[in-house]
Amino acid sequence: MNQGQEADRTTATPRPGAGFEFKENKMRIAAGLIFAGAVSLLASSAAWSQTPPARGVASPQAAPAPAPAAAAAPTRPPCNNPDALGIGRTVEIDTTGGPGFGFEHFKELDFLRDKEVVLTFDDGPWPVNTPSVLKTLAEECTTGIFFPIGKHATYYPEILKQVMAAGHSIGSHTWSHAALVNKKLNEQQRKDEIEKGFSAVKWALGGKSPAPFFRFPALQHPPEMVTYLGTRNIAIFSCDLDSFDFKASKAQTIIDSVMRKVEKNGKGIILMHDFQKHTAEALPEVLKKLKAGGYKVVAMRAKAPVQTIAQYDEDIVKDLKLPTVSSRPVSSVVQTISE
């Protein structure tokens, strides 16, 4: 925010007589001119500071909106299931420089111990299926990371708010699930997919910024976008094992696929989709088998929320004509005129 400089103040020592009154009037006039000039300078500075930043050309770090509100996880209710899978440990992620997670693409950060897994869910929020996944996770007193599609977030913000209220980490999975390796997309269009996705999730969460966690559609990573996410301090998530639940025609196929791969690897980041009906059906048995196998779930939390770019935040509301949250009190909106 712009800060005005406070003018120096001088205190006159009163002396009797007209000479003092004349000098005092001169001082008041001078002070008035100084004050008027300061107000003019502050007004022009404020107008400049409110000009929306240009998109695309400027450095991405110059445009983010200041002081994002974090989508902080609330205190979890006590677990009433003595046989629940639970949470083995919680780790905090410093996303400076855009670290990558998941051995399918990134092998530098091997932070999971043997028999530890991270549960991740893509493509939501979606009716029936996402709430079903949330119910299962709650019953097992455990957690996951959700990577919603921006458009889906604007369709069902109330469902995404349920994900936040349950204390799960939330990242982003682009605006429309466009393949960012598609050569028909130019560099700015790829950035738009990333940034608009985060802004849409932020809007759906009532203005709370999600974690700076991002997953590329189909795990396809254009090198220039990997670099870009690094400049934006956004962590990239691949996976250690893919359930391929989107190809499954029944829940048992997903259960068998996940358990076979996790037992082979001994640990890992598991990729599933809360968008998929069969995944929601398979999840209770998957979690029970993980518990029986001695596996522990690791919760990944971001050290700080993502800094969305103001122009994209504005575009979400303007372009889609989405409703805005009113800050007016009820009494100024609704008045009883007869009973």
Model pLDDT, residue 328: 64
CB 262 within 8 A of CB 76: no
The pLDDT of residue 32 is above 80: no
The tokens of 42 are what?
A: 């502050």
Which residues, including other chains, have CB under 8 Å from residue 72's CB and lie 6 or more apart?
Answer: 208
Model pLDDT, residue 292: 97
- pLDDT confidence tier of residue 15, bands split at 50, 70 and 90: very low
The pLDDT of residue 128 is above 60: yes
Model pLDDT, residue 68: 58
Instruction: Report percent pLDDT > 90 for the chain.
Output: 70
Residue 209, classed as helix, strand or coil, is strand
Model pLDDT, residue 75: 59
Instruction: Report percent pLDDT > 70 for the chain.
Output: 75
The pLDDT of residue 25 is above 50: no
Model pLDDT, residue 333: 73
What number is the average pLDDT over the span 1-22? 38
Q: Token pair 């530098």 is at which residue?
A: 108
What number is the average pLDDT over the span 147-167? 97
The pLDDT of residue 35 is above 50: no
Residue 284, classed as helix, strand or coil, is helix
Q: How far apart are CA 24 and CA 225, in angstroms?
A: 65
List 100's β-bridge partners, or say none: 236
Model pLDDT, residue 70: 54
| Nearest-10 Cα torsion for 94, 109, 230, 307 | -30
CB 135 within 8 A of CB 286: no
Q: How far apart are CA 131 and CA 280, in angstroms?
A: 9
Which long-range contacts (C-beta less than 8 Å, at least 24 apart) are formed by 74-77?
74/165, 74/167, 75/167, 76/141, 76/167
Model pLDDT, residue 327: 59
What number is the average pLDDT over the span 283-302? 98
Residue 216, classed as helix, strand or coil, is coil
The pLDDT of residue 74 is above 90: no
Least confident stretch, 109-123, 251-265, 320-334: 320-334
- The per-residue pLDDT for range 197-237, each reduced to its tens digit, is 999 999 999 999 999 999 999 999 999 999 999 999 999 99
Residue 273, classed as helix, strand or coil, is strand
Model pLDDT, residue 64: 53
Model pLDDT, residue 208: 97
DSSP E strands: which ranges in the chain?
A: 69-70, 89-93, 100-101, 116-122, 145-147, 169-170, 208-209, 213-214, 235-237, 241-242, 268-273, 296-302
Q: How far apart are CA 106 and CA 236, in angstroms?
A: 9
The tokens of 220 are what?
A: 């396809």
The tokens of 67 are what?
A: 């002081």
Could you tell me which residue, 58 or 306, shows the higher pLDDT?
306
Average of per-residue pLDDT values in the chain: 83
Could you tell me which residue, 255 or 33, shows the higher pLDDT?
255
- pLDDT confidence tier of residue 66, bands split at 50, 70 and 90: low
CB 274 within 8 A of CB 130: yes
Model pLDDT, residue 320: 74
Could you tell me which residue, 55 or 128, shows the higher pLDDT?
128
Which has the closest alpha carbon to 139: 286, 300, 274? 286
Which has the closest alpha carbon to 209: 300, 302, 326, 98? 302
The tokens of 43 are what?
A: 């007004």
What number is the average pLDDT over the span 36-47? 38
Query: What is the total residue count of the chain?
Result: 339
Could you tell me which residue, 185 or 31, shows the higher pLDDT?
185
Q: Distance between the two ends of the chain, CA-based, in angstroms? A: 48
DSSP code, position 68 = P
- The per-residue pLDDT for range 226-275, each reduced to its tens digit, is 999 999 999 999 999 999 999 999 999 999 999 999 999 999 999 999 99
Phi, psi of 101 (to 5 degrees): -130, 140
Query: How much is the pTM?
Result: 0.76
The pLDDT of residue 3 is above 80: no
Burial 89-121 (b: 16+ CB within 10 A, else e): eeeebebeebbbbbbebbeeeeebeeebbbbbb
